[in-house]
Amino acid sequence: MLNIGDIIKATGGSIVVKGDAEFTGISIDSRTIKDGELFIALKGDRFDGHNFTMDALKSGAGAIVSNLQFIAQDVVANNRTIILVDNTLLALHNLARYMRKKFKGHVIGVVGSNGKTTTKELISSILSIRLNVLKTSGNLNNHIGMPLSITRMNKNTHIMVLEMGTNMPGDVDELCSIALPDIGVITNIGYEHLQGFGSLHKVRDAELEIAPFVKKLVVNADDLFLMEGVVKKFKGEIITFAIDVEGADITVRDIVFSDEYTKFLLCAKSEYIDINLKIHGRFNIYNSIAAAATAYAVGFNLQEIKNGLESFEGVNMRFEIKKARGVTFLNDVYNANPSSMQEAINELVRLINSGKYRRAIAVLGDMLELGDYGVSEHKKLGQRLSVIPVDTFIGVGPLMSFAVSEFVGKGISVDTSDDAGIKLGEIIQEGDIVLIKGSRGMRMERVIAAVEDSEEAIGLLQQNRS
């Protein structure tokens, strides 16, 4: 329970109307708010929560945190608690920071260019074996989602696992100043959000903004560029994980891939245990051992780590292997940058080389937010695809047309993911394997939906069976 005294103390706000004195939680969405929750009216570029304060009250909000200039008389007349602040987003940050400072358990911050959400979920899967874990929901890792996650803390919370995203310098520092993590995890450094950073060195600097806040830092020892920065900027305890580099704290050996599982031997100093994952790809081994290293750092044993890793079912739209009508789809549509795109292509090549598939098709959408690197990175992608056994490449969006122009093979350029789905539906055959990936803004999940709705695709597949 939150009380009005704590909220005033945390936000520095003032009470206009005094009603309820205690609240069951925090909400920023009038559509999902529950009885007795405090509604914080946030204002964004495309929305203004102050327009929905009456909706929130009708849905049972116990109080409203608002900016003075947005208070309407009908809200005041409702006789619910109204707290006025200068800036509602800053009030959310201050409230989350206030609650965090009262928390006595570990707070784990997860940053990095790729794999943050899956790593966060894997860490939580292990820790929940014997702890009550509070984690960021989905990929709510920004200046709204992460502090809102902290406000869900209650007296039963033992540990927090918080994903922290970044689009520009200073983002991680701001989030850390709220979350105050004592353990940090850096998954890797890659070509992400170059529009906001401009160079790989600045990406690394941004992710390393977590370093001054933490006592322990879990890092990928195979990422030599990352390690170079860590050694320069961090003086606390470093816990390493690796597949290739010898001598890391957590390593693996005897890796076996299949369509159903990923197996390996997890090694922690002189201890070993077999792991059988339900998720796929070399990159997910990295995510798993990052989680293992983190759990090991807070005192979990290998059997507990094994149980947590093996029970993990995966994250929606992150390299899910789906089969429909004899076609295998590699559904990795959540997001994309040059580094994660290369990892997905590497996994496609491994699967092609298994000899189980008739043809390989790549349906790839624009990699956004690359700034001046956009055209060149897409051209490089087309060149890389030309030297692997991909039968057909469907590029989605204006940037991916540059990749298609460099592709030596059957290349098709389309404007939208719907167009790509229709085109794919015309050419797929039973026994094909199809990689689908692109930035979130490209909505590449619509490709599979369009294929499923394509009567022509169904007819072709039925024809191939007969």
Non-local CB neighbours of 387 within 8 Å, separated by 6+ positions: none
Contact between 260 and 354 (Cβ < 8 Å): no
Domain boundaries, the chain: 2-87, 103-310, 320-465
Provide the CB-side half-sphere exposure for 31 (13 A, CA).
0
| Strand, helix or coil for residue 215 | coil
Burial (CB < 10 A; 0-12, 13-18, 19+), residue 119, is: buried
CA 448, 450, 454, 456 torsion-angle sign: negative
339 belongs to an annotated ligand binding site: no
114 belongs to an annotated ligand binding site: yes
Of the chain, the percentage scoring pLDDT greater than 90 comes to 81
- The pTM (predicted TM-score) of the whole model is 0.92
How far is Cα 126 from Cα 308, in angstroms, rounded to an integer?
Answer: 4
How far is Cα 394 from Cα 298, in angstroms, rounded to an integer?
Answer: 46
In this structure, the chain runs to a length of: 466
pLDDT grade, residue 21 (50/70/90)?
confident
Nearest to 98 by CA among 206, 161, 197, 12: 12
Tell the CATH topology of 103-310.
UDP-N-acetylmuramoyl-L-alanine:D-glutamate ligase (3.40.1190)
392 belongs to an annotated ligand binding site: no
How far is Cα 372 from Cα 198, in angstroms, rounded to an integer?
Answer: 8
Give the single-character DSSP code of 34: -
Nearest to 97 by CA among 12, 14, 170, 165: 12
112 belongs to an annotated ligand binding site: yes
Report the pLDDT averaged over residues 255-268: 92
pLDDT value of position 462: 47
Give the architecture (CATH level 2) of 2-87: 3-Layer(aba) Sandwich (3.40)
43 belongs to an annotated ligand binding site: no
pLDDT value of position 18: 77
pLDDT digits (tens, 9 = 90+) for 330-378: 999 999 999 999 999 999 999 999 999 999 999 999 999 999 999 999 9
How far is Cα 221 from Cα 290, in angstroms, rounded to an integer?
Answer: 10
Q: Which CATH class is domain 320-465?
A: alpha beta
117 belongs to an annotated ligand binding site: yes
How far is Cα 317 from Cα 324, in angstroms, rounded to an integer?
Answer: 16
